[in-house]
Structures are given as structure tokens and as C-alpha cells.
Chains A and B, each alone.
Chain A
Amino acid sequence: QGQLVESGGGVVQPGRSLRLSCAASEFSFSGYAVHWVRQAPGKGLEWVAVMSYDGKYIFYIDSVKGRFTISRDNSKNMVFLEMNSLRPEDTAVYFCARDRDYHDISGGFDVWGPGTVVAVSS
């Protein structure tokens, strides 16, 4: 089925940057889109960004456009989320998730990582 593991979370001051990583294994990574989804403390799920399998298509939620950048390295089975100008409202657990459709984006996230915690606080 596959595995995803996030890393790079931590405590950071407002306005600073953080880079999250998502390592994939046990599936053909280069054929699947990967999403980032976040969950603020005690809140529901919020989709953040997606990059297609080939990097050609990228979409973001409006609240992170211009601040966050998603990228991937298919040679290393990795996806990244570069987060700049962080705000307290970005505090959340960040999950990476695989889109179940090969070479497409359909919105069924069938593999999830355990998440990494990002806390933005002065």
C-alpha cells in the first residue's frame, strides 16, 4: 500500500520559516500526486497544497499562497513544503497524503503519514 513519513516540524517564531519533508516508501512514488493537509489543535482537517506526480500542476489554499511552496524530488521519493512568513494561525499538525489515482488528482487520499507538529509562537 505504501508509507509516508513527515519530518521537519518544530516551534518557530512568527515571521520565520520552516521546511517540512515527506518521505515515501513501498510504492511507485513518481506516479502519484502528494497533498499536504493540516489540523489545528482541536480542529478539523484543512487541505493545504498538492503537487501532481510530475510537478506540472500545483495548487494551494488561498491562505498560504505566496508564503508556502510545495516541491518534490522523484529521485529521492520526497515531497517538501517550504513555509515562509509563518503566522500563529499556521500552528497545526501537518500531514502528507498520497492521492490514490495514478497520474491524476482525484482527491482520494489513501496513504497518510503520522504527521509533524508545527507551532508558531513568540
Chain B
Amino acid sequence: DIVMTQSPLSLAVTPGEPASISCRSSQSLLHSNGYNFLAWYLQKPGQSPQLLIYLGSNRAFGVPDRFSGSGSGTDFSLKIRRVEAEDVGVYYCMQSLQTRFTFGPGTKLDFK
């Protein structure tokens, strides 16, 4: 199975400041079709997860443009241009190149 790691596991930010989360996979997620099979999810406290980014860099419907995904192969990142109060929660990356999908351990984002 593909193992996903994230760093940091915990992140305290000042509202209005940028934030960045790194995700690394044990194997390349780059498909022969040119897409990276990597998604990002946010689970807000007490809620179900929600899709932020799919295929490495595509924002899901309704996701604010302050969120951006980048990277290729085995190294990816999620950037939040200016963190807002509603962005607090746990962020997960997930690979879908192999149909035994695997999530990263999660990065908890909170305010300082």
C-alpha cells in the first residue's frame, strides 16, 4: 500500500497569515494520463470531511480561492493564502492512484 505522511502534524497560525501543509507519498502518484491522484480534505470540528482539492491542484466546487494545491510525483503541498476562522480543523491528504486509497495522518490547524 502507498503510505502517506504529512508535516507538520500540528500548526498554529495567526488569522490573516498564510499556512502551508506538506504531504509526501511512498510512491509516485503521477498517472500516465498526466494527473496526480492526490486529494486534500478538511474536517472541521464535529463535521464530516469536505473535499478541498482533487487531482493535485484542482479546487473543488465552492472552495475559496485562498486554498491552492501543488506538487507532483511524491511531494505535494496545500497552501492557504490568508487563514480565516472557518479554516480551523484537521487537513488530510489522500492518494487514489491505487484503489486501496490511503489517507495521511492529518494536520491539525488552529489559531495562536
Contacts and interface: CB of A to CB of B under 8 A. Distances in A.
A100 B52 CA distance: 12
Contact of B100 (A47, A109, A110): A47
A45 B47 CA distance: 13
Contacts of A37: 49
A112 B50 contact: yes
B103 interface: yes
A107 B39 contact: yes
Interface string A107-122: 1111011110000000
Contact of A95 (B39, B49, B90, B100): B49
A47 B37 CA distance: 15
Interface in B70-112: 90, 92, 94-96, 99-106
A110 B55 CA distance: 12
A45 B102 CA distance: 9
B41 A45 contact: yes
Interface string A74-117: 00000000000000000000010100100001111110111100
A110 B102 CA distance: 16
Nearest to B99: A59
Interface string A25-59: 00000000001010000001111001000000101
Contact of A1 (B61, B92, B94, B102): B61
Contact of A107 (B48, B50, B90, B94): B94
Closest 5 pairs between A and B when the two form their complex, measured CB to CB: A107-B96, A108-B54, A47-B101, A112-B48, A59-B99
Interface of A: 1, 35, 37, 44-47, 50, 57, 59-62, 95, 97, 100, 105-110, 112-115
16 contacts: A44-B92, A45-B41, A45-B49, A46-B103, A47-B102, A50-B99, A95-B48, A95-B49, A105-B96, A106-B96, A107-B37, A107-B96, A107-B101, A108-B55, A109-B39, A109-B49
